[in-house]
Chains A and B, each alone.
Chain A
Amino acid sequence: MTLLDVDDLSVRQADGHELLHGLSFTLARGERLGLIGESGSGKSLTALAILSLLPAGLTAHGSVLVSGTQVVGAADRRLDRVRGRAVSAVFQEPLMALDPLMRIGRQIAGPLRRRRGLRGAALRAAVLAALEEVRLPERIASAYPHEVSGGQRQRAAIAMALACEPDLLIADEPTTALDVSVQAEVLALLDGLVAEKGMALLFIGHDLAVVAGVADRLIVLRDGAVVESGRTEDIVKEPRHTYTRSLVHSAWEFEAELDRLAP
Chain B
Amino acid sequence: MTILETRSVGFAYRGGAPVLSDVSVAVSPGRNLALVGESGAGKTTLLRLLLGLARPSSGEVLFDGRSLRPDREFRRSVQPVFQDPYSSLDPRQRVDRIVSEPLRAMRIGARDEIGDRVAQTLRAVGLPADAARRYPHEFSGGQRQRIAIARAIVCEPRILLADEPVSALDVTTRVRLVELLRELNTARDLTVVMVSHDLAVVAALCDEIAVLDRGRIVERGPSADVLGSPRHPHTRRLVASVPRLRRSSGPPGEGR
The SS class assigned to the A binding surface is helix
The SS class assigned to the B binding surface is helix
Query: Which residues on the A side are within 8 Å of B240 (C-beta)?
Result: 184
A253 to B205, CA, bound (A): 13
Interface stretch, picked from A8-16, A93-101, A128-136, A254-262, is A254-262
A114 adjacent to chain B (CB < 8 Å): no
* CB of B33, distance to nearest CB on chain A (Å): 16
Which residues A25-75 have CB closer than 8 A to chain B? 38-39
A237/B253 in contact, CB under 8 A: yes
Partner of B175, one of A39, A182, A236, A250: A250
Which residues A228-251 have CB closer than 8 A to chain B? 232-233, 236-237, 246-248, 250-251
* CB of B37, distance to nearest CB on chain A (Å): 9
Q: With A209-B244, A212-B249, A232-B248 given, is the CB distance from A254 to B174 under 8 Å?
A: yes
B27 adjacent to chain A (CB < 8 Å): no
Query: Which residues on the A side are within 8 Å of B247 (C-beta)?
Result: 209, 213
On chain A, the number of residues with a Cβ less than 8 Å from chain B's Cβ atoms is 38
Q: With A38-B172, A150-B39, A258-B204 given, is the CB distance from A179 to B243 under 8 Å?
A: no
Binary A-proximity of B228-247 (CB < 8 A = 1, otherwise 0): 10100000011111111111
Query: Which residues on the B side are within 8 Å of A236 (C-beta)?
Result: 245, 248-249, 252
* CB of B28, distance to nearest CB on chain A (Å): 20
B228/A261 in contact, CB under 8 A: yes
Q: List 19 A-B contacts (CB under 8 A).
A: A38-B171, A180-B38, A180-B238, A181-B38, A184-B241, A208-B245, A209-B244, A209-B245, A212-B245, A212-B248, A232-B248, A237-B255, A250-B175, A254-B171, A254-B174, A258-B199, A258-B204, A261-B224, A263-B246
B200 adjacent to chain A (CB < 8 Å): yes
B92 adjacent to chain A (CB < 8 Å): no
